[in-house]
Structure 1
């Protein structure tokens, strides 16, 4: 394979039937769909402007428009959901999941849209459209946080983005609610992992109550200030939280997952103006991660 080819024939054969074959209207079907998808992958891997894509991928306008369309209509979400269904059917999903976030600095080319700086979640247009474009000013400047649920092997299950200054804990509910792995046969999608591993940022009564109400084991470290407050209140402070220190050692898989995401230079630094297309790039990297498992 050349440097401009990322997907193997087996991987492409797996996702090709899931991609739209036309623009949804009567007319000519898409041509060179594989080259277009390879162009999208190349752009995020190399971190180049869309206009600087090698000409062998075709017109850069076509590649950009196709990516914008797939981001807006949920194509990448649907492909990831289908791959997860196949993986779950084959027993390839480890349902001891880990949760965390990583911050990605925004390049000045991706920050020149008008926006507010409130904390919010960007899922997909138009249901969860926000006007901050998942950009926020934190200590290091403007940036975006990638929030993720990963399975016990470090492969992404849920991907959301939010502004860089937003705390991790309020995003936890959105991540858990977005977890839904379809069945290939009859039956409802699986929405409950066996356990959730999280660091001290996710330790709150509301998060623990959410997991308890759904019968999910919480393996979340408790901060020292919460311990002191509980002890200070005596019997009114409640019982100590359950914490499986041995199981918690597996939480590092989500950190390794983020390390793999940031191998794509266009994700490690955000160049996209729209949160919609930036999140779609992260979704595409998640799709590729699962393709390596399922097709190779």
Structure 2
């Protein structure tokens, strides 16, 4: 394949975070780079696994390996390992809706809740995200599309030592603001228009909320994330973790 995604310097940053390196049990990691490029190709194009180019490996073996790394938490672990350089002056939280393709429905009931719900847009999944002061991702939570943003707010900021936590008025809740204050942060959340005693907030800091919107735009350049095709929430979340890794490597 002439068109690959990872530069040599980017690969060097994650190579030792992947399974199969010297000292690990099992097979060697000599083809890890080609395998990661294969998964990136699937994520970028939104193609079915069966359409994977032969130069990137056999589609079924590639999928099985992707699923194995998913179950072991490899994709999330790599994304988390790159967060050491996070700028925690500001923490921005928000959510975005992802349309679920009809092929994403129909997971077996024994697999549990797959975070696909119905809203005015049809079948949808919602991504609840927290990013740092530079717009780099720190936490992603999946929910069904109809779930309110405030329901995942506490989980997004838990153990995140930011000086300011910034969100839109959808997160304007006395209980949530109190939880922000309790953990030693300052809330920058505009009040709802129906508040009898509107709370003041730092408008200058709030103007930087576009950082999280820009993050959403970046990861939705990957067609496998702009539209959900995966039946399993764990598979879809693995692609999101991989997209977050690419953002950190940029």
Instruction: Tell me the TM-score range normalised by the shorter chain.
Output: over 0.9
Quote the offset at 1:62 in angstroms.
2.1
Is 1:269 aligned to residue 238 of structure 2?
no
Partner of 2:168: 199
- Indicate how the Cα distance of structure 1 residues 46 and 274 shifts in structure 2: closer, same or farther if over 3 A, else same: same
Which residue of structure 1 aligns with residue 239 of structure 2? Answer: 281
> Structure 2 CA distance, aligned partners of 1:161 and 1:44?
18
**Hey, what's the Cα distance between the residues in 1 that align with 2:88 and 2:212?**
13
The residue that corresponds to 2:100 in the other structure is 106
- Matched-pair contact (CA < 8 Å) for 1:169–1:202: yes
Q: Which moved more, 1:35-44 or 1:68-77?
A: 68-77
Q: What secondary structure does 1:144 align onto? A: strand
How many residues are treated as equivalent by the alignment?
249
TM-score by length of 2: 0.93
Matches of 1:155 and 1:170 in 2, distance apart? Answer: 22
1:123 aligns to what?
Answer: none
Q: Does residue 25 of structure 2 align to residue 18 of structure 1?
A: no
The CA distance in 2 between the partners of 1:66 and 1:250, in whole Å, is 39
- Equivalent residue runs for 1:49-60 within 5 Å: 49-60=48-59
Offset, 1:194: 1.0
Inter-partner Cα distance in structure 1 for 2:120 and 2:109:
19
Report the Cα distance in structure 2 between the residues aligned to 1:194 and 1:52, rounded to whole angstroms.
46
Q: 1:30 to 1:139 in 2, by over 3 A?
A: same
* 2:61 corresponds to 1:62: yes
* Structure 2 unmatched ranges of 5 or more: none
| 2:199 corresponds to 1:241 | yes
CA distance in 1, matches of 2:60, 2:25: 21
Unmatched 5+ stretches in structure 1: 117-129, 180-190, 231-239
Scaled by the length of structure 1, the TM-score of the pair is 0.79
